[in-house]
Amino acid sequence: MKVQLLCIFLIIWNIFVFLIYALDKALAKMNARRISELALLGYALIGGGLGALAGVFILRHKSQHKLFRAVIPLSLVTSAALIYFVFLKVLS
């Protein structure tokens, strides 16, 4: 049950993160006030790695930034580790 809830949370969270990246891309095109890079990276690190990765590749947003190229893969590892440890705890 815990693993299923975690997976549902991560799916919803990653959709949210992707939408945040899309919003930031739209704000950039309008020369409006943007979402900070720290916030974007933070959302990725708190389990939103897939959504951030989708935002970078599908929207081509922040794809040239070295920090994003480093942190987003790290966030994917973080999400996978979280699922793995919750799954192990459930099996124990």
Domain ranges of the chain: 2-91
Q: How many residues does the chain have?
A: 92
Q: Tell me which range, 1-10, 26-35, 58-67, 72-81, is most confidently predicted by mean pLDDT.
A: 26-35
Question: What is the tens place of the pLDDT at every residue in 42-78?
Answer: 999 988 999 999 998 899 877 777 888 888 889 889 8
Contact status, residue 76 vs residue 50, Cβ threshold 8 Å? yes
pLDDT of residue 54: 93
Find the Cα–Cα–Cα–Cα dihedral 89, 4, 11, 82, rounded to 10°. 0
Contact status, residue 40 vs residue 20, Cβ threshold 8 Å? yes
Question: What is the tens place of the pLDDT at every residue in 14-24?
Answer: 999 999 999 99
How many angstroms separate the CA atoms of 88 and 38, rounded? 31
Tell me the whole-structure pTM to 2 decimals.
0.85
Nearest CA among 37, 53, 44 for reference residue 75: 44
